[in-house]
Structure 1
Amino acid sequence: MRWWDIDRVLELEKDLFPEDAWSRGMFWSELAHARGPEATRRYLVAEAEGDGTGGGTGDGADDGGRILGYAGLAASGELGDVQTIAVARDQQGTGLGGRLLTELLRAATAFECAEVMLECRVDNVRAQKLYERFGFAPIGFRRGYYQPGNVDALVMRLTDPSSSVQGTEING
C-alpha cells in the first residue's frame, strides 16, 4: 500500500466498516512507519488490473484498478499484530483473505516476530475459520472492543508464523 492507494482503500473501508472505519490520518500514520530501514509496518493492497493509463490523480502514479482487499501488520520486537485485513464483499470466499494473511505472515517472519496476535469480532465466524486454518488459536476476549455496538473481540495468537507460511505460494 502506498499513499496514492489511500482514497481507494478508504472507499472499501467505509463500505465494509461503516460504523468504525479508519480515517485517512490513521492510514497515513501507519504508512509513515512502513518504509525504510526502521520500518515496523507492512501494508499491502490487492487490486483488480487497471487500464495502465495511470488513472486520474495526475501525479504519475498508476492508480491501477479497484481495490479488492488490503491488510496491515505492525511489528514490535518479537510480537506482530494484524492491524487490519479486509476483502471486498464480492471477493469474499475466493481465497483473497488467505493470500493477504499469508503475505502478512511472511512480513512477520521478515520482522523476526516469534508470535502474531489479532482481534476478530466474535460474530465474524468466517474470519475466525480463516485464522484457525493458519494456526491461530483463541486466547481471550476484549469486552466491548468494537464500537458502536459494544461487540466483543476474540483475541487470537499464532506462535511461529514462519511455519504457518512454509510451502505456500502466492499467485498474482
Structure 2
Amino acid sequence: MIVDHTQVEQDMAVSQIAALEADLFGHGAWSEHAIRQEFNAPARTYLLDLGPADDDGVPVIRGYAGFWYDGDDAEIMTIGVGRPFQRRGIAATLLRSLIESAKGQGAKRMLLEVRVDNEPALGLYERFGFTKMGLRKRYYQPEGIDAYTMSLDLAPRIIGFQPQN
C-alpha cells in the first residue's frame, strides 16, 4: 500500500528508511538526520510502500521514494526497495505514484541521477520513458562512480504551428 510519509509516525519511518538505506547504499546511505531533514524540507513529496505489520504491530516499510519540486521540475531524490521485496513491482508502483503526484502538483518535467552501473534502475526508468541527458563524472562518492542524468517530460510540448480555433 502506497502512502504519503506524513500518514505514518515519523520516527518509525526515519528509523526503517535509515536501515534500508544502509543496506542498499552502504557508504552513500542517508543518515537518520538527513532523512528527517528531507521529510521536513519544503516542496518535498515522499511516498512509502507499507507491507503487513510486524509482530509488534508496526507497519513494515518495504520501499520509499521522494522528489523535490521547484515549480517547474520534480527532481527524484531517492527510490529504494528492501532486498527481500525487490523484483515485485514495488519500485515501479512508487515511480508511477511519484510521476502522478508531480503531474498533480504542476511539474513539467521529472529529473534524476542514477549510477551508470545500476542496470535494474536504468531499465525501470527507461520503461517509464526517461531518457539520458548527460553524464556526471564521479558523482557517487566515495566510490567515484559516474551518474547519468535522465529526464521525463510530464507536460506535452507544442512544437511548430498549431491550428487556430
Normalising by the residue count of structure 1, what TM-score does the alignment of the two structures yield? Answer: 0.80
Residue 163 of structure 2: aligned partner:
none
1:3-18 equivalence runs, <5 A = 3-4=10-11, 5-18=13-26
Contact kept, 8 Å, 1:70 with 1:87, in 2: the verdict is yes
Residue 144 of structure 2: aligned partner:
150
Higher strand share: 2
Letter in 2 for 1:41: R
Superposition deviation, residue 23 in structure 1: 1.3
Structure 2 counterpart SS, 1:77: coil
From 44, 49, 53, the counterpart of 1:50:
53
Once the two structures are superposed, residues 26-51 of structure 1 have per-residue CA deviations (whole angstroms, 9 ceiling, x without a partner) of: 11111113xxxxx5111011122115
Structure 2 counterpart SS, 1:13: helix
Identity among equivalent pairs (%): 36
Structure 1 counterpart SS, 2:52: coil
Task: Please identify runs of 4+ aligned residues in structure 1 that moved more than 6 A.
Answer: none
* Higher mean displacement: 78-87 or 17-26: 17-26
Give the paired residue count. 148
Question: Who wins on radius of gyration, i.e. which is larger?
Answer: 2
Residue 63 of structure 1: aligned partner:
58
**Take 1:115 and 1:8, find their aligned partners in 2: how far apart are those partners?**
30
RMSD of Structure 2 on Structure 1 (CA)? 1.7
Superposition deviation, residue 19 in structure 1: 1.2
**Take 2:43 and 2:155, find their aligned partners in 1: how far apart are those partners?**
16
From 53, 66, 73, the counterpart of 1:72:
66
Structure 1 unpaired stretches of 5+: 34-38, 56-61, 163-172
Normalising by the residue count of structure 2, what TM-score does the alignment of the two structures yield? Answer: 0.84
CA, structure 1 residues 161+43, in 2 after alignment: closer, same or farther (shift >3 Å)? farther
